[in-house]
Amino acid sequence: DATQHRSEELTQTPRHLLVCERSSFQDEKNRLSTQVEMLHFNYKVSVLLPECSSAPSQLDSVLNSFTSFYLIKNLPVHELLDQHFLQTAVFQGCVYALSYRTRIDEDNCVALMPNGRLLLSLDKDSFELLGFEGKPSRFNHRVKSRFVVSVDLTSSCMAPGGSGYLRLVSGLKSRLNLQMDFLLLHHPGGGASLQSLLSRYASSEHRPTISQCRLSDLSCPVLESCDPSDAHSLLEWLGAVDADISWDSSCDFVSTLVCPEPKMTLSSALRVSVCGFLTPQDIQRLISELRCYLEQSRLGSWVSLTVHGFVDSPVSWGANEHGVLKGGENLYTLLMHHDGTYHLHLATGAYDSCPP
Amino acid sequence: MSVFMDLNVPFTDNHELLQQLIQTAAHLGYSTVAINYMFEPSAKNKQVPVPADISQLIGPLPLVQGRSRPIRVLHRLTVVVSDPAHFVTRANAEEYRPFNLLAVQLTSEKLFHTACLQYDVDIISIPGTEKLPFFFKRAAINGAADRGVVFEVSYAAALRDSTRRRYTITNALSLMESCRGRGVILCSAAEQALELRGPYDVITLGVLFGLCDADSKDCVSSSCRSVLLHAETRRTANGIVSTRRREGAGPLGEAVSAKRAKVI
Amino acid sequence: MRNTDEKEETSVYRRVVLKNSSPYHYMRVCLVVDDQRIRPSVVELKNFIITGLRTLHGQAGAAINFDVLKYEEDSLTAILRIYSRGLVKLWSSLTLISSYENHNCAFRVNQVSPYLLALTGNSRDLQLD
């Protein structure tokens, strides 16, 4: 009946998925590096080092060597198909490009993935103007209002001068005339590989911002037995540490948040984060460095690393289409133990596929 | 999925207040707002208002939150019809033409029924300030939906006191019951900046009104876009599509089937 | 609710997919009051929100448990935690709150997520110029 139906509606929340995986670096079949590499557009990585009061110098140098990225303003999208740009950047290494200040649930969004695939997530009007093949978005509701055009710039049918290539360029140039701000970087070439593009448009170079914070007397769950049913409380604990939420609430009325049991107290811990437009390669290097750090530290120690993908990216992992209903979570947390085992938690929101 | 819009921000002579409203709407993430002028033909000596030039009143338009484009401001006229003579004969009146959107608010079931099936308007406004003196009939609701006319539920009245909150919720619930979440837009009708709510908050209010998340999101985005297209069609030559040859279009441009450039 | 796909029978490897499993949702909110001198304490803030819940959803609404995990009195920003089942009720009542001690006010909900971690890593906050 109606009342029953209503009360159900009021207790429902948007869909969300959490994948909990346990594996070991010693296991040859572990897929960690693939999983890290598949999330192309990373906004922030934060690391928690228990029983550590200042970052070891090797870790510091990894953090400081994250690739610089560029903000390029009002870039006509057809420039990403420019022959010279394809030859000097896209076909030589990896280009990461993501439209900036565009929202995936409202605006046209564009991404160029490191494998040379260009994605245009367009509203219906823009899609019709472009006049190029695409598919309706998976997340359309009732009406087909968003379309995704996905082209592989490295494939033979998109070779410069070919008919597909010319059709897309002319659509972008003369019919749709799509322009937007972009975050852009090249691996491993850096700015040099992008020079021809950067010099012709208003652009600025940005360093990822690093912040460090030393925490003391931190209540911490004992991580021996990490059961997936506890995953949420562990993630909540990490989230609370990241958000500077204090554990000893003086007042039960205000908050009943407690540290998961069994717990212990860390005399000190270091929280480090890097924020900007980050490549999976840099995150891989950070993970390797953290493994070295763990191998040198005492028995039973661990570190955690959380990576947040861009909310408004048209893809999350791999080529999985990504969208926003009310929040566009695509993030993962890696908990590495001294003995080489790790727990990986991959999370997505309502408009996403299951993580790899 | 389209940009968020608030298609009912009441006009006020107080320029500072109007500026605050538009500023706040942009800050909350609305890409388009419609300044609403009320017109009650029943009042004595009342002329159809003339929309003001917004950029003259409030200066440069603020940027939409998180975007590099300014907010778009449209004009809307709402005619309060309490007698059949107030509207029908004037459907194509010259004084309605300066407005991007045309809405009506009805005071009786008979007028509501006629409006749904016949009035050449874009929006039928469901007030939150009073208990509706009639029930929604499915025939009327479907008739409006078939013609692309949408119903508007506004939430600002629900912020003012508990009685009006009850009216808003009751009216919205019974509307949603009849139209099943289709052809509805959610607007603010906010008279002060602090009465505006962000798009995702309004989506949650839609859930309170009986919609699912995705339907509710359409009410502040896609359905608003549809109503703008409906208005554009209504204002231009009654729906006749005019095409013109694009200048300088090369052979490739012509190879693709002609796509109509819609104004949005 | 849960399905385990055990691809490999190694001693360590295990994969579990949890759907809609988060017991809580987290909200980043900010209270805006037209008189900037007004600075409710954390207890006052919580009582204020409970009143809002009661006004819209009655006694059952007032009984919904939520936590104020963090509150900054200077900026009137807070992080709230609510059982997922209570999210819509809490959110809608925050939306309909409009006055605090006879002053006009509004709650601005900046972000909502089933993951607390997501609140500290929202790319929509990236400001480059």
Tokens of C72: 């900054």
Neighbours of A292 (CB within 10 A): 13
**Can you read off the two tokens belonging to residue A253?**
């009325």
Tell if the CB–CB gap between B196 and C91 is shorter than 8 Å: no
Other residues' Cβ atoms within 10 Å of the Cβ of residue A153: 22
pLDDT at B258: 39
pLDDT at res. B45: 62
Are residues A131 and A175 in contact, defined by beta-carbon separation less than 8 angstroms?
yes
* Residue of chain B minimizing CA distance to A4: B210
Question: Chain C: residue nearest A26 by CA?
Answer: C12
CA distance A105 to chain B (A): 6
Query: With contacts defined as CB-CB under 8 Å, which chain B residues touch A174?
Result: 246, 248-250, 253
Predicted confidence band of residue B88 (pLDDT cuts 50, 70, 90): low
Q: Where are the alpha helices (DSSP H) in chain A?
A: 2-9, 32-38, 57-64, 83-85, 124-130, 163-170, 195-200, 231-242, 280-296
Residues of A in contact with C79 (CB under 8 A): 243, 245
Which one of A122, A175, A182, A351 makes the best mutation probe of the B interface by having the most chain B beta carbons within 10 Å? A175
* pLDDT, greater one: A228 or B58: B58
A23 to C12: CB separation less than 8 angstroms, yes or no: yes
Q: What is the pLDDT of residue A226?
A: 59
Burial (CB count within 10 angstroms: exposed 0-12, middle 13-18, buried 19+), residue A108:
buried
Joined together, the tokens standing for residue B124 give 């039928």
* A24, A71, A308: residue with CB nearest C12: A24
Q: Which residues contact A292 (CB under 8 A, 6 or more apart)?
A: A58
User: To the nearest whole angstrom, how far is the Cα of B204 from the nearest Cα of chain C?
Assistant: 6
Cis peptide before A262 (omega within 30 of 0): yes
Kindly state the average pLDDT of the residues B3-9.
97
Q: Are A32 and A25 in contact (CB under 8 A)?
A: yes
Sheet bearing C77-83, strands edge to edge? C66-72, C77-83, C24-33, C103-113, C99-100
A2 contact residues in B (CB cutoff 8 A): 177
- The residues that bridge with A206 in the sheet, in sequence order, are A69
Q: Residues B48-87: pLDDT tens digits?
A: 888 888 888 888 999 999 999 999 999 999 999 888 877 7
As to burial, measured by CB atoms within 10 angstroms (0-12 exposed, 13-18 middle, 19+ buried), residue B108 is middle
Q: pTM of the predicted model, to two decimals?
A: 0.92
Residue B40 near residue B235, CB atoms below 8 Å: no
- Dihedral of CA atoms A22, A25, A27, A33 in degrees, nearest 10, equals 80
pLDDT over 50 at B262, yes or no:
no
Contact A43/C at CB under 8 A: yes
- Give residue-wise pLDDT tens across range B180-210: 888 999 999 999 999 999 999 999 999 999 9
Inspect the interface and report whether the beta carbons of C88 and A13 lie closer than 8 Å.
Answer: yes
Say yes or no: C32 contacts chain B, CB-CB below 8 A. yes
* Contact with chain B for residue C106, Cβ under 8 A: yes
Output Rg (C-alpha) for chain B, integer angstroms: 19
CA gap A101, A99 in Å, rounded? 7
Of the ranges A43-47, A189-193, B139-143, which one carries the lowest mean pLDDT score? A189-193
Q: What is the pLDDT of residue A299?
A: 75
Q: Using the predicted structure, report yes or no on whether residue C3 has a pLDDT greater than 80.
A: no
Q: What is the mean pLDDT of residues B18-25?
A: 96
Q: How far apart are CA A116 and CA A139, in angstroms?
A: 24
* Residue-level pLDDT at A228: 58
* Rounded Cα–Cα distance for residues C45 and C29 (Å): 12
pLDDT at B90: 52
Distance from CA of C36 to the nearest CA of A (A): 23
What is the band of B133 on the pLDDT scale with cuts at 50, 70, 90? confident
Six token digits for residue B153: 């539920």
Which chain A residues are within 8 Å of C26, Cβ to Cβ?
Answer: 239
Q: Is the Cβ pair A251, C87 closer than 8 Å?
A: no
Nearest residue in chain A measured CA to CA from C84: A13
- Whether chain B has a CB inside 8 Å of the CB on C27: the answer is no
What residues of chain B lie within 8 A of the CB of A103, using their CB?
66-67
- Of C1, C5, C11, C18, which to mutate for an interface test with A (greatest number of A Cβ within 10 Å)? C18
Token pair in block for residue C54: 């009661």
Q: With an 8 Å Cβ cutoff, are A13 and C87 in contact?
A: yes
- Is pLDDT above 50 for A84? yes
**Largest alpha-carbon pair distance within chain C?**
65
Chain C residues touching B213 at Cβ < 8 A: none
What band does C1 get if pLDDT is binned at 50, 70 and 90? very low
Q: Does C112 touch chain B (CB under 8 A)?
A: yes
Mean of pLDDT values over A224-251:
83
